[in-house]
Structure 1
Amino acid sequence: MSLRPHLARAEAAPAGLPDDAYVDLLGADGEELEALCALADGVRRDAVGDQLTFVANRNLDTAVVRDPGHATALVDEAWTLGATEICVQGPLPPDVPDRAPLDLVALITGRVPMHLHAFRPAEVADAAARLGLDARDFLVAAREAGLGSVPGTAARILDDEVRALLTGGTDIPAARWTELVTTAHEVGLRSTATMVYGHVETPVQQVAHLRALAAIQDRTGGFTEFIPMPIQPEALPPELRDGGFPDVQRQAGRQAGNPGARETRALYAVARLVLHGRIDHVQAAWPKLGPELTTAVLRGGADDAGGLLLDGALDPAAGAEAGRQLTLAQVEELAAALGRTPRQRTTLYGDAPADRRAVLREAQPQ
C-alpha cells in the first residue's frame, strides 16, 4: 500500500490523520521513509525554526540524599562547570528519613540558583506516602521548597499489559502515571513526556501512547518536550532477553530490545506529526541513539539535543548516564552539520543567562 495519500494529508494537517494512518506511517521504509522524515523536518521548522537547543545539566542519583555534604559538593561543581539544571531521579533509598526528598530539594535549590528537575511519578508517590501526604500536597510542598519541574520518565508504553511484561508487574499502572503527571502540571510544575520503545509494543500501542500524551497536554499544557528512547537490552527482563514470549514479539514485528534505525526514524517523524500544535519540542535521546542516528532524527522531526550531562571530576558515576557526556564543541559541530543555530536553553526552553553561557564555554576543554 502506498503511503503517499497519508503523506499528502499530513502535509496539510500534520496532527489531523486517523490512528490507522499513523500506524501505517510507522511502517514507512525506503523512499517513503525519506519523504516522511522530510515532511516531519518541515513541520519542525514551522514549529520551532532552525535552532538546535541544548541544556547544560548534571544528573544525580537519589542516593545523594544519604550524604548532604557530598550532594552540595556535586552541585557546587556542576555550577562551576556552567550547569543550569540538576536532574535527580531513581528510587529513593529505603533507609533515609521521610523528609529526605524535601530536604534534598531545599539543599540543592538553596545552594545556587539551579533549576531542579526531580522525582519521576513513582518517586512522587513514594515520597508522598513516606510523609503521609497525598501526591498533590507533596508536589506543592516540593514546589515551595524549590522544585522546578519533574521528569515524565518511566512512562515506558502507557499500556498496562506491556508495562507488566517489562517490569513483572512492579510498574505503577498507566492511569496512575497519568494522574501523577497531570497533578504535577496542575500545581504548576512542568514535565517532560517520554516513550521507551522497541521491545514488545506494537505500532498500534505506540500511536495510542502518543494520543495519551496529547490528551494530557490538551488538559494541562504542562509538557515541555517529548523524548522517545529505544529500550536498552539490559533494561529488558531476563525472559525477554532470552527470547521469551515469542507470540508477543511476533505481534510486535521485532525481537524484543532490537529497534532498528528505520523504526527509530519513523517513530520520531510520526511523533512530530501527531504532537504538532501540542508539544513543540522533540528531543533526540543521543545517549541511547549514538551519533549517526542522533543526526538522522534531528533531520527528521527532532529539534533538541537534550542535556550535556556534565560529569565533573568529584564523582563521575553519580548520574544515570555516567560516562556519557556531550561537549559544547560537539553540539556546535552538530548544529553546523544540520545548518542550524545552536542555542543554550534553560529547562523550560528560555535562553540560558549570558553569564552561565560564558562559564560553560570557559569550563569546556578547548
Structure 2
Amino acid sequence: MSAVRAALAAAARDHRALGDAEAVALLGADGAELEELAGLADAVRRARVGEDLTFVVNRNLDGTRVGDPAARGLLHDLVQEAAALGATEVCVQGPVPASAGPEGYLELVEAVARAAPGIHLHAFRPPELLEAAHRRGSSLRAFLVAAAGAGLGSVPGTAAKVLDDDVRTALNGGVPDLPVARWVETVVTAHEVGLTSTSTLVHGGPETPAQQVAHLRLLAGVAARTGGFTEFIAMPSPAGPGPSPRATRALHAVARLLLDGYVDHVQAAWPKHGPDLTEQLLRGGADDLGGLLLDGSLDPAAGQEAGTTLSREGAAALADRLGRPLRQRTTRYGEPAVP
C-alpha cells in the first residue's frame, strides 16, 4: 500500500488522529487519490460548518494612502461610501506613514469609527502592531487594548508566510524576518484582548511539505490556546513559480483535516486562485469566499487590490454550480444587519 493510500485510510478512520508523516503524504496526493482526499475534506467541512457558501462585503484601503492626517477627510468619505454600498467591513492594509505621528495608528482607528459607527475594522498585521506600539512608546498589549477600545475589531493574521525561521529568512532575501516566536506572541496578545484574526499560509515557495504541516500544527496550537482565529487562508507564494493547482487543492484539503476543531472556516481566496480553482477548492474542504472587495466610485484606486471585485451575482452563480446556499456573513461569521 502506498503512503498516500495508507494516509487516506487513516484519515477516513479518524482525521483528528493523523500523524505528521501521514499529513505530509496527503500533501502529495494526485489523480484519484487527490479526488478522494478532497471528498474526505469536504465531508469534514459539511459536518463542521454545514452547506452555506459564505462571503463578507468589504472594502480594502491602503494604510499608506489613507493613514496620513492630510487624508483623514478622504478616509472618512471612503468609509462612509463603503458602508452605503453595503460593506460591513473595512480592511486597512499596510503601514500607516510616519507623518501620522506617534498615535497615527490609533487615530486611524478612531477616524474609521467616526465615519461609520458599527462597521468592522480589520487592520494591522503583526509587524504593524509592533510598530504602532513602538511609535507611541507603549507595550503591545497597551496599544491593542487602546485600539480595541477605539473600534478595531480584528487583525489580519498575515505576515505569517511560513512559520519557520529559516524559511522566513530565505523568503526575506537572506535577512532575518519577524521571528516566528514574536509573530505568535503578537497574535496571541491580540486574541487575549478580545480581537480575532485570520490565519494564513503562503505556500509554494522554498518550504517543504513537512514545514507546511508544522505550520498548520502551530496554528492549531494557537487556536487551541486562544480560540481567536476566524478562518484559515492559503495563498500562493510570489517566490518562484508558486504552487500547482494540484498542490493547492491538496493543501486546502489537508488544512481542513488538521485544523478541524480548531479553526472552523477554510477560505478559498478567489482573487489568488481564479474561478476554476476556487470552485475546486470549495468542493474540497473550503467553505468561504472571503470578501467581495468593493471599489466604489469616489476613489477606486484607494485599495491595494483595486479592480479585483466579485459581484453578488457572480458569487450566486458559483453557489448554484456547487448546489449550496449563498450567505452573507460578518467578519466573525455572524449575520449582518444589512439586507
Q: Name 1:123's counterpart in structure 2.
A: 128
One-letter code of the match for 1:166? L
1:225 and 2:226 aligned: no
1:82 and 2:86 aligned: yes
Q: How many residues matched?
A: 333
Report the secondary structure of 2:331's partner residue: coil
1:37 and 2:43 aligned: no
One-letter code of the match for 1:120? R
Q: Name 2:18's counterpart in structure 1.
A: 17
One-letter code of the match for 2:25? D
Q: Name 1:7's counterpart in structure 2.
A: 8
**CA spacing shift, 1:170–1:310, aligned 2, 3 Å:** farther
**1:132-151 maps to which residues of 2 (within 5 A)?**
132-151=137-156
1:60 and 2:61 aligned: yes
Q: Name 1:360's counterpart in structure 2.
A: none
Runs of at least 5 residues in structure 2 that lack an aligned partner in the other structure: none
Say which of 185, 204, 207 aligns to 2:210. 204
Say which of 312, 315, 319 aligns to 2:299. 315
Query: Is the contact made by 2:4 and 2:28 (CA closer than 8 Å) also made in structure 1?
Result: no
| Structure 1 moving runs of 4+ over 3 Å | none
One-letter code of the match for 2:260? H
Q: Name 1:180's counterpart in structure 2.
A: 186
**1:77-116 maps to which residues of 2 (within 5 A)?**
77-112=81-116, 113-116=118-121
Give the TM-score normalised by the residue count of structure 2.
Answer: 0.96
**1:265-276 maps to which residues of 2 (within 5 A)?**
265-276=249-260
- Per-residue CA distance 1:290-348 (angstroms, 9 max, x = gap): 00000010000100000001011122121121110010001111111111100000000
1:191 and 2:228 aligned: no
- Per-residue CA distance 1:129-183 (angstroms, 9 max, x = gap): 0000111110000001111011101100001111111113252111111000000
- Per-residue CA distance 1:248-274 (angstroms, 9 max, x = gap): xxxxxxxx3321100000000000000
Query: Is the contact made by 2:3 and 2:25 (CA closer than 8 Å) also made in structure 1?
Result: no
Give the TM-score normalised by the residue count of structure 1.
Answer: 0.89
Cα RMSD over matched residues? 1.0
Report the secondary structure of 2:9's partner residue: helix
Q: Name 1:242's counterpart in structure 2.
A: none
One-letter code of the match for 1:295? E
Runs of at least 5 residues in structure 1 that lack an aligned partner in the other structure: 237-255, 358-366
CA distance in 2, matches of 1:319, 1:126: 21
CA distance in 2, matches of 1:118, 1:288: 20
Q: Name 1:73's counterpart in structure 2.
A: 77
**1:164-175 maps to which residues of 2 (within 5 A)?**
164-168=169-173, 169=175, 171-175=177-181
1:301 and 2:303 aligned: no
Identity, % of aligned positions: 58
One-letter code of the match for 2:290? G
